[in-house]
Amino acid sequence: MKQTLLFVPTLRDNPKEAEVNSHRILLRGGYVRQLAAGIYTYLPLAYRIIKKIENIIREELDKIGCSELLMPAMQPRDIWEESGRWQDYGKELVRLKDRHDRDFCLGPTHEEVITTVIRDYLTTYKRFPLALYQIQTKFRDEFRPRYGLMRGREFIMKDLYTFHTEDGDLDHWYNEVRKAYQRIFNRCGLNYRIVSADSGNIGGKSSEEFVGLCDIGEDTIVYSDESDFACNKELCDLPEGAPSPDGKGKILHARGIEVGHIFKLGTKYSLPMKAIFVDYEQKQKPIIMGCYGIGISRVLMAILEQHADENKVVWPQEVTPFQIHILPLDKEGTPAFELAQELYEKLNKDYEVLFDDRNERPGVKFNDADLIGINHRIIVGKKAAEGIFEYERLADGFKQDISDLNELHELLKALRMFGDFKTGRQ
């Protein structure tokens, strides 16, 4: 992609409305644009990252037997009356009326809709289990939208629902989804912990949160430096340095933000909404359900918090907007630009390459490139006349002069073997 054709409206100065680093970078780097409080346009750079996160989720969920569908955002009041949530949900629910004065809401989550979708089909034990998910815009009129995409009023969520005839099967699926979530967040390059949680508004009998560690997080978690033990500070208030309750390691505290949530819902929705099946003894029973969310736009924000300093981002390999950034340090018609263009045309066949073909000074190009955050960078400058260019890796500052393309291919091939460039082209 030529950078002149990509819409990346970077800013020179720090935007006043941004209170935290990730939000500043989002605005300064031309990733998003705010329309109203908590409501954003995802510009091309952010949307490429969002699509990569979505595709990682799709790959991992499809692998365990889930299938994707898409439900409506606009939902009629009657199904919310059936579940009892029209009253319970409160002011976060965005309510509206159609032209005939009938009540609707914009979905903050989809338990009601999915239950109406499956209840006429899942009437016999023979059709179980089933796992359905969607990736969709959700609406919640949050009291205090803030930190950019962290707490939006309109945001992108993946929501998965599973259906079972007995608790044992729900437990099995819950564990499979839990493992898939671990793979998803690892691939996203997130440092996270799994903490058990109370189940809040959605209800049910068992739930865990995936919490991305970052200083601007709203929760404090208590975790072991050596094992998987982690817990919300509200639930277990161990001091830092205390031995971990599982006997492994010492307790540390960290702030974190919930990026994913998995629930065993049980029959919370199937009972009031009469989603009933007939078991192998011809007995009528309510369907047992699980539900599992990931806040995709919030994940982007959490990754940014963990992988950026004040002026520079290094996106993790699997979610990077592009894989290689080529920066010629001179304008069109010079040896530097021509060599850069030649490298772009060749590398673009195998990698996602961003080519900074703008007529800008090197300082501007470097500043913008640091905000765009592509780990693998090729700089074509003064030595271009001798056919020499520089490869630089942002993550560790490694640099190397390169004089022919084969040498670069060898280098990139070696990186691929270490797990870089996994997603390939979009």
Which residues of the shown chain bind ligand ATP in the complex (CB under 6 A)? 109, 140, 142, 151-152, 155, 157, 200, 258-261, 293, 295, 297-298
CB of residue 75 to ligand ATP, shortest distance in Å: 16
Instruction: Tell the smallest beta-carbon distance from residue 134 to ligand ATP (Å).
Output: 13
Long-range contacts of 119-123 (CB under 8 A, 24+ apart): 119/270, 119/273, 119/274, 119/275, 119/276, 119/287, 122/163, 122/275, 122/277, 122/287, 123/276, 123/277, 123/278
Q: Which is nearer to ligand ATP, 209 or 357 (CB)?
A: 209
How far, CA to CA in Å, does 151 sit from each of 22, 135, 426?
13, 17, 28
**Euclidean distance between CA atoms 347 and 334, whole angstroms:** 20
Token pair 């889930």 is found at 66
Element (H, E) at 130: strand 130-139
* Residue (157 or 412) nearer to ligand ATP, CB: 157
Helix (H) / strand (E) element for 213: namely: strand 206-213
Nearest CA to 73 among 117, 38, 112, 108?
A: 108
The CB-of-39 to ligand ATP minimum distance in angstroms stands at 11
Which CB atom, from 203 or from 245, has the smaller least distance to ligand ATP? 203
Q: How far is the CB of 292 from ligand ATP (least distance, A)?
A: 9
- The Cα 177–Cα 162 span in angstroms is 10
Return the closest-CA partner of residue 174 out of 165, 185, 161.
161
Q: Give the single-character DSSP code of 416.
A: H
CB nearer ligand ATP, residue 151 or residue 307: 151
Smallest gap, in angstroms, from Cβ of residue 135 to ligand ATP? 12
- Beta strand pairing status for 206-213 and 154-164? unpaired
- If the CB atoms of residues 142 and 171 are measured against ligand ATP, the closer one turns out to be 142
Whichever of 217 and 328 has its CB closer to ligand ATP, that residue is 217
Q: Which is nearer to ligand ATP, 53 or 313 (CB)?
A: 53
Task: Report, in Å, the least distance between residue 202 CB and ligand ATP.
Answer: 6
Least CB distance to ligand ATP at residue 65 (A): 21
Q: How far is the CB of 251 from ligand ATP (least distance, A)?
A: 23
The least distance separating ligand ATP from the CB of residue 280, rounded to whole angstroms, comes to 34
Question: Do 153 and 37 touch, CB atoms closer than 8 A?
Answer: yes
Q: How far is the CB of 234 from ligand ATP (least distance, A)?
A: 12
In the complex with ligand ATP, the residue whose CB is nearer, 163 or 263, is: 263
Q: Which is nearer to ligand ATP, 183 or 416 (CB)?
A: 183
Measured N-to-C along each axis, helices 21-28 and 296-307 cross at an angle, to the nearest 10 degrees, of 100
Work out the number of other CB atoms within 10 angstroms of the CB of residue 87: 8
Report the nearest approach of ligand ATP to the CB of residue 118 (Å). 20
In sequence order, the 6+-apart residues with CB closer than 8 A to the CB of 248 are: 224, 226, 227, 229
Q: How far apart are CA 343 and CA 379, in angstroms?
A: 11
Q: Cis bond leading into 129, ω under 30°? A: yes
Residue type, 303: I
CB atoms within 10 A of CB 14: 12
The beta strands (E) that lie in 38-123 are given as 39-42, 67-68, 74-76, 94-97, 103-106
Beta carbon nearer to ligand ATP, 260 or 316: 260
Looking at beta carbons, which residue is closest to ligand ATP? Answer: 295
